[in-house]
Amino acid sequence: MTSILSIGVLGAGQMGNGIAHVAAQSGYQVILCDIQPVMLDRATQAIAANMSREVKRGKIEEAQRTEALARLRATVDVEALAAMDLVIEAVPESLPVKQEVYAQVTPHLKAGALFVTNTSALPITLLASHTPHPERFMGMHFFNPVPMIELVELIPGLATAPETHQAVRAVAEKMGKTPIDAGDSPGFIANRILIPMLNEAIFALHERVGTVEGIDAAMKLGMRHPMGPLTLADYIGLDTLLAICRVLHNEFGDSKYRPCPLLVRLVQAGWLGVKSKRGFYDYTKTPPAPSL
């Protein structure tokens, strides 16, 4: 299949709703699927609100917003994905969870449909082995917030067909993204470099090398980063960050990738960052104040 007209998105969390937003806005017919109706309600409300902000900023016209929202449908029924040309999986970063979802979804996909994963770090070839057609499977890694970040990593697995790679690249480009090819290695390119840096910033806090604000200021002012590493960790989600750290540590077996104990404790406490209103910063306050 080389022509993609419709896209299904599995998972209505931060990444899933962002992918659905961009796909609908790019002219695709979109079905957003999640097992939790409350997640679908939050996602559709967030997409509508985010598009309204784009209208106010002059990025899109009101008519474009209306048309994009009309192309988007939310459902808990995985059988609705049977009509989709491409399905993008954006469920939690857990191999058992993804395996379970694949077993539920792949029997409903139509002949020739492409299936891709938005995993941040899990091996593509391993994930593909849990699908009936690994030649039509690959990684398509978006970055949060999806409507704003132009990068998409394209990661073929061992069995990915060249035609699949080409079709997924065309989708990324139609979405206005800049696709780059990455090898099927844990963390791919961006997270292979970024995640150890964020983890090291957390170690610096854990070892009292600096304060939350001091560590963020050091990287913003000294390295000209637009956002400090602890703030960025909060936006990524500390549970997601921990999951990626564990994948890197398990896959490479190198102690330099071990997650900081402070990160583990924050996730255990439910302090997941912006999405839970508390992480390294307390987002119930204006402006956000350090939590530690």
pLDDT value, residue 1: 53
Active site residue 120: yes
The dihedral sign for the CA sequence 78, 244, 231, 88: negative
**Token reading at 125:** 């070839």
Strands 114-117 and 151-156: unpaired
Cα(142)–Cα(136) distance, rounded to whole angstroms?
A: 19
197 with 160, same domain: the answer is no
Minimal CA–CA distance to 46: which of 27, 64, 19?
A: 19
pLDDT value, residue 249: 96
Q: What is the largest CA-CA distance in the chain?
A: 56
Which domain, by its residues, includes 255? Answer: 190-280
pLDDT value, residue 285: 97
Residue 155 forms part of a structural domain:
yes
Q: How deeply is 49 buried, as exposed, middle or buried, from its count of CB atoms within 10 A (0-12, 13-18, 19+)? A: exposed
Average per-residue pLDDT in the chain? 97
Residue 244 forms part of a structural domain:
yes
- CATH code of the domain covering residue 272: 1.10.1040.10
- CATH code of the domain covering residue 57: 3.40.50.720
Active site residue 52: no
Regions of the chain short of the pLDDT cut 70: 1-2
Q: Which of 141, 163, 200, 250 is catalytic?
A: 141
113 with 147, same domain: the answer is yes
Q: Which of 191, 200, 206, 251 is catalytic?
A: 191
Q: Which of 118, 120, 144, 199 is catalytic?
A: 120
Active site residue 141: yes
What is the model's pTM? 0.92
225 with 203, same domain: the answer is yes
200 with 242, same domain: the answer is yes
User: Which pLDDT tens digit goes with each residue over 46-74?
Assistant: 999 999 999 999 999 999 999 999 999 99
Residue 289 forms part of a structural domain:
no
Question: How many CB atoms neighbour CB 36 within 10 A?
Answer: 13
pLDDT value, residue 289: 98
User: Which pLDDT tens digit goes with each residue over 253-282?
Assistant: 999 999 999 999 999 999 999 999 999 999
Active site residue 67: no
212 with 119, same domain: the answer is no
* 216 and 228 Cβ atoms separated by less than 8 Å: yes
pLDDT value, residue 3: 86
119 with 10, same domain: the answer is yes
Cα(26)–Cα(22) distance, rounded to whole angstroms?
A: 6
85 with 202, same domain: the answer is no
